Amino acid sequence: MDTGPISNRLPLCLITGSSGFIGRKLCSSVPASDYRIKALVRSETQLQDLDEFDKVVVETMNAEVDWTEILKNVDCIFHCAARAHILRENASDDLKAYRQINVAGTKNLAEQAAVVGVRRFIFLSSIGVFGVNTNLGESFKLLHHPRPLTSYAISKWEAEQALWKVAKETNLEVVVVRPPLVYGPGVKGNFLRLLQLVSSGLPLPFASTRNKRSLVGLDNLVDLLIRCLDHPRAAGQTLLVSDGHDLSTVELVSKLSHYLNKSAAQISIPVPILKLAGRIVGKSKEIDQLTGSLQVDSQLTCDLLDWSPPVSVEDGLRNTAEWFSRQT
């Protein structure tokens, strides 16, 4: 008796935020021999380059969404969609705006997933749950108590707590992954702006900076997320991830300038002066990231899942720089 194509019998994986930096890479990286993909986006205009997958549009992922039809036959969920910023970052109700999507929306999706029998829910959180920086030479570890300081990080921490409550009361297997800054081809935000600065050839004022920061390449993060799909020891875990090789801002700029074939001189300006300048021009957050440390100890994750980053930080940065060069 013909039971239909083999692909129709494969487990179905829902990926939220499929048009985003991480979600798009996940869609193309989950082994087609093992899973079918259902790609979720916010609008029809974000369906480009997703033609090979089943697609569904959910405009606003809040507590009101009815997931009944979308979750039919879904075996696992990668929840990458989130509100990462708002138009008025200093608005008094910005935390409320983050909570509507990142907390209430996540809780609603997880609760309905548990009801229909979804097996595993992999949640992309943030290392910001621990705070915004570490002392030089110290690393965030799971034993550290969460101390989220931004509205985004607070909403991610609250979403984690909501997920663990659902997991405790149901059979849903929850996995939480907390990455630091993610870079790779297609990157946006502060890392893209740093690429633009280095590419400009202008002298950069970081020679006096003494810091270390953990990063994670897109390929490495996606590889870990896929590892979490089926690994029995991933269920019920909070996982920290990084490239396993921390860089100072001086080292990062030097590597990027090399891969971009630019001569980016670094001049020495004291960090307090840089921070003062940052406050004056409204770039305090960016300066703090470039001058402060944020290190992540991901060894427990590597040991637990028998995993190691498949792409070195050098290759990851080179690939990112080559992508950037093709765009300019």
The residues annotated with a catalytic role in the active site are: 152
Centroid of chain to Cα 158? 17
Residue 45: which residues within 8 A CB-CB, separation 6 or more? none
Give the pair of three-digit tokens for residue 8.
Answer: 């129709």
Residue recorded with tokens 């996606």: 222
- Cα 182 to Cα 21: distance, rounded to the nearest angstrom: 9
- Cα 111 to Cα 98: distance, rounded to the nearest angstrom: 19
Torsion of CA 248, 254, 257, 258, to 10 degrees: -130
Q: Where are the alpha helices (DSSP H) in 121-217?
A: 151-169, 189-200
E-assigned strands of the chain?
12-16, 36-41, 54-57, 74-79, 120-124, 173-178, 181-183, 215-217, 238-240
Indicate the pairing of strand 12-16 with strand 36-41.
parallel
Residue recorded with tokens 């979490």: 228
Kindly state the helix (H) or strand (E) to which residue 109 belongs, with its residue range.
helix 106-116
Q: Are 90 and 44 in contact (CB under 8 A)?
A: no
Residue 14 bridge partners (DSSP): 38, 77
Q: Is 213 helix (H, G, I), strand (E, B) or coil?
A: strand
Angle separating helix axes 284-291 and 271-280, nearest 10 degrees: 160
